[in-house]
Amino acid sequence: MTDFSTIYKLSLVALWCFIHASSCSSCPLLECWFVQEKKGRGGGLAGATTQEKTLLHIRKDEHDDSAESSRAPSDINPDRIYVITDPAEALCHRSFNPPRGSIKKPQCEVNPFLPQPCSLAWVQSLTEKAFSPVYLQADWFSASFTGVDEQRGVATITRAPSGTKQQSVILSLTSRTMSAQARLGEPVTLDCSFWADPLSPLSEMGFAVEWRYQFRGDGRLVLAYDGKTDRLAETVEEGATLDFEAVHQRGNASLTLQETKVRHSGTYICSVYLPYLLAQIAMELEVVEPPSLSIHPSPLPLAVPGQVLNIQCEASGFVPLPVDLSWEFKGADGKTRSLEPASMSGHRQAWDGTFSQSTRLQLDTSKLDLGRGGELTCVAVHRGGTRRASVTLSVIGFSSPSIEDSMAMVGVALVLYGLIKFASWTFTSSGSDEAAKSDKVR
């Protein structure tokens, strides 16, 4: 009976862990890169950067001493071994703690951080008193983490008492959409949530949220919100929204684009400000729309052996490049084969940013065994999916009839022969009867 009760309890624990995966997963031991600017001879910054390996022991609370007993790798400088307390457990997610022996590892980078006020209009209210609290007199670090699934990312700002290696997460950002896709015209949400240490005096002084867009050197402000004064910046992009209630209650600063357009493809940076602190996380959005296909002429004219048909297939309204266009023919026997070659046009861009491209097929009925015809299909292979468009091809007066047609012709010939014989017999019989009657009359 005890065994069954134990199994039952373990099953309940396993179920609870499945539902609350991040809570049951152990916090990881992360090997990262510590990157900082190199100091010049005079003590200033030389502009170049240096990087060295660092080891981060992640724990949920400061009473966990398991990191103290673990042995550090020999190739890591002891001065670059840190213990990070993460009460929100953002770094304890399983995507940052792959199974032992796994080839894929989470990516992370640590940098020194200098707390300072921000002059942006939607952030100024956080430091309007213009004094620097004693709390800031410590060692500060910023770090970015990408999980093995490449979909989850975390950015942190940590604080360590000067001269110590015990860091505590003061501000963390988490995104589950580090790489997102969307169809044209559909809404899309870019995930970004933040957590601020309630024990930190900075968390009581308000926050601000900012979303920026970048693509090939072009950048713009999408949305900015001052959470302290509950004000939205005037430079708001049309169709970009933030759930303000969720921001205040749950730290959910996700951005929703109500109607996705081609110009929305690019990098989006979610920034959260606390007084003197800034954490950022960047994610990629790609707008993907498969092509619409049209065949010209449609329907196809009747073809005769020896005729050359010029047929064009146009793929339009797709994004991004490229698209692969090809032709297929399915005969009366049900077999499908590719038709080569076909010429391709260059791509053209429409006013809405989508592309179009066409392929032209010269169908020579004298060189191809098309029988009585069949189904001609244009095939477009694109990142958004494969699309097909078909038309019916009919060939008349073909030189090589099929077996069915030959049998039908033989049958018709036999019927005609029978009718002729029957008519001949009837005519002969009636003639004989008339001759016999004439003999009797004489």
For residue 405, pLDDT over 70 is answered with no
Tokens of 312: 């064009």
The CB density around residue 138, as the number of other CB atoms within 10 Å, is: 17
Poorest-confidence range of 256-270, 298-312, 377-391? 298-312
Ranking 8-22, 76-90, 202-216, 337-351 by mean pLDDT, the lowest is: 8-22
| CATH code for the domain defined by 292-394 | 2.60.40.10
- Of 224-233, 337-346, 426-435, the range with the lowest mean pLDDT is 426-435
Residue 188, SS3 per DSSP: strand
- Separation CA 76–CA 1 (nearest Å): 51
pLDDT in tens, 91-122: 999 999 988 888 889 999 999 999 999 999 99
How far is the CA of 31 from the CAs of 89, 208, 288, 376, in angstroms?
18, 31, 35, 57
Whether 372 has a pLDDT exceeding 60, the answer reads yes
DSSP 64-110: --HHHHSPPPTTS-GGGEEEEE-TT-GGGSGGGSPPTT-S---EEEE
pLDDT of res. 241: 94
Q: How does residue 38 score in pLDDT terms, banded at 50, 70 and 90?
A: confident
Domain ranges of the chain: 26-37+48-65+72-287, 292-394
Which CATH code, of 3.40.50.970, 3.40.50.10490, 2.115.10.20, 2.60.40.10, is assigned to 26-37+48-65+72-287?
A: 2.60.40.10
- Higher-pLDDT residue of 234 and 209 is 209
Exposed e or buried b per residue across 75-97, where buried means at least 16 C-beta atoms within 10 angstroms of its C-beta: eeeeebbbbbbbbbbbbbbbbbb
8 A C-beta contact, residue 364 and residue 355: no
Residue pair 72/29 in contact by the 8 Å Cβ criterion: no
What six digits make up the tokens of 174? 């988490």
| Cβ-based neighbour number of residue 214 at 10 Å | 13
pTM: 0.80
Q: In the structure encoding, which two tokens stand for residue 426, read together?
A: 């009837």
Rounded Cα distance, 146 and 139, in Å? 24
Parallel, antiparallel, or unpaired for β 107-112 and 29-39?
Answer: parallel
DSSP 203: G
Per the listing, tokens 């430091």 go with 127
Quick check: helix, strand or coil at residue 60? coil
Burial group, residue 37, by CB count within 10 angstroms (0-12, 13-18, 19+): middle
Residue 231: what pLDDT? 94
Q: Reading across the β-sheet that carries 208-215, which strands appear in turn?
A: 179-182, 277-287, 266-274, 208-215, 218-226, 231-232
Segment 224-249 shows an average pLDDT of 92
Residue 297, Cβ density class (10 Å: 0-12 exposed, 13-18 middle, ≥19 buried): exposed
Place of tokens 């809404």: 187
Task: Say if residue 90's pLDDT is above 80.
Answer: yes
Q: What proportion of the chain, given as a percentage, has pLDDT over 70?
A: 81
Pairing of strands 81-85, 166-175: parallel
The confidence score (pLDDT) of residue 26 equals 80
Q: How many CB atoms lie within 10 A of CB 54?
A: 22
Total number of residues shown for the chain: 442
Give residue 48's pLDDT: 83
SS3 242: strand
pLDDT in tens, 304-346: 888 899 999 999 999 999 999 999 999 988 899 999 878 999 9
pLDDT band at 5 (very low <50, low <70, confident <90, very high): very low
Residues 6+ apart with CB under 8 A from 29: 55, 56, 57, 58, 67, 70
Determine whether 41 is exposed, middle or buried from the number of CB atoms within 10 Å of its CB (0-12, 13-18, 19+): exposed
Token code pair at residue 140: 């500060």
Which residues are 34's β-sheet partners?
52, 110
